[in-house]
């Protein structure tokens, strides 16, 4: 996982929604997000297989980013799971995120933390984790995407774009047109989430998404390795951003 910082003396007017802009000495952070497929965990969707064995297949097949999101585990259980995932990830080029738990991100030294709209605000988290951790944010509207960028998130996950049984609580799907508008509003990478299949991965990339975030398309796949290969190919094919 690599991050880079771009320092430029350029005085052109950058979009005001880019919070990293400081007008006199223009400085903005440009972390290199080097993955386009972001796997979000849900051990209840693995078709009865142990989560770690599914993740191992994902990693072996070339998967490069995992967000551990097991909201019904207690702190000790989450720490143990994170440790196992980090062990798996060590020999691969794998970026590991923890959902919401800034305390575990620092204690366990994950590569990043993924925030919900109701989590601690990005600037407060940045104060704690500094520039050594990536910060991803979930958004459910264009305003949420713009706010994530303004607050200094490294990337944003927008959804649900399509109908998904994984997250009925988030209401109506946002649709491709809204995804496209959101992608035009920000410079940070936008990942599409919610009901993403292989064919839809191509569709959202064409609409401007930098990548896709998925649960069931990989975790519930009969052949996790094949699903991972196909999804990686699908997100690599369209090069809109």
User: What positions carry a catalytic annotation?
Assistant: 69, 138, 167
Q: What is the binding site for ligand TZP (CB under 6 A)?
A: 40, 159-160, 164, 166-167, 170, 193-196, 214-217
Nearest-CA neighbor of 36 among 156, 219, 191, 186? 191
Nearer to ligand TZP, 110 or 166 (CB): 166
Go through 187-204 and write b for each residue having 16 or more CB atoms within 10 A of its CB, e for each that does not. Answer: ebbbbbbbbbbeebbbbb
Nearer to ligand TZP, 40 or 56 (CB): 40
Report the alpha-carbon angle 134-137-138, nearest 5: 150
Between CA 68 and CA 180 the distance in angstroms is 27
Q: Is 137 helix (H, G, I), strand (E, B) or coil?
A: strand
Pick the closer one to ligand TZP by CB: 55 or 193: 193
User: Whole-number minimum distance, CB 115 to ligand TZP, in Å?
Assistant: 13
Minimum CB–partner distance for residue 45 and ligand TZP (Å)? 7
Question: At closest approach, how far in Å is the CB of 78 from ligand TZP?
Answer: 17
Q: Which is nearer to ligand TZP, 90 or 168 (CB)?
A: 168
Measured distance CA(137)–CA(135) in Å, rounded? 7
Task: Tell me which residue of 80, 185, 68 sits closest to 136, measured CA to CA.
Answer: 68
Cis, peptide link before residue 224, omega less than 30° from 0: no
């Amino acid at each position: 996982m690599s991050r880079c910082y771009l320092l430029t003396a350029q005085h052109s007017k950058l979009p005001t929604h880019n919070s990293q802009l400081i007008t006199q000495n223009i400085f903005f952070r440009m972390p290199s997000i080097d993955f386009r497929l972001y796997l979000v965990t849900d051990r209840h969707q693995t078709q009865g297989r142990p989560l770690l064995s599914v993740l191992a297949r994902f990693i072996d097949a070339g998967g490069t980013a995992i967000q551990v999101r097991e909201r019904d585990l207690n702190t000790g259980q989450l720490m143990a799971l994170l440790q196992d995932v980090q062990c798996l990830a060590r020999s691969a080029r794998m970026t590991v995120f923890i959902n919401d738990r800034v305390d575990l991100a620092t204690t366990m030294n994950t590569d990043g933390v993924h925030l919900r709209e109701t989590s601690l605000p990005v600037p407060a988290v940045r104060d704690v984790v500094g520039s050594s951790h990536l910060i991803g944010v979930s958004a459910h509207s264009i305003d949420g995407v713009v706010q994530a960028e303004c607050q200094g998130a490294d990337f944003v996950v927008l959804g649900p774009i399509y109908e998904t049984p994984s997250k009925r609580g988030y209401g109506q799907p946002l649709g491709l047109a809204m995804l496209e508008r959101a992608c035009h509003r920000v410079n940070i990478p936008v990942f599409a989430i919610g009901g993403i299949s292989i064919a839809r991965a191509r569709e959202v990339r064409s609409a401007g998404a930098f990548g896709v975030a998925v649960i069931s398309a990989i975790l519930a796949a009969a052949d996790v390795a094949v699903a991972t290969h196909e999804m990686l190919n699908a997100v690599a094919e369209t090069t809109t951003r």
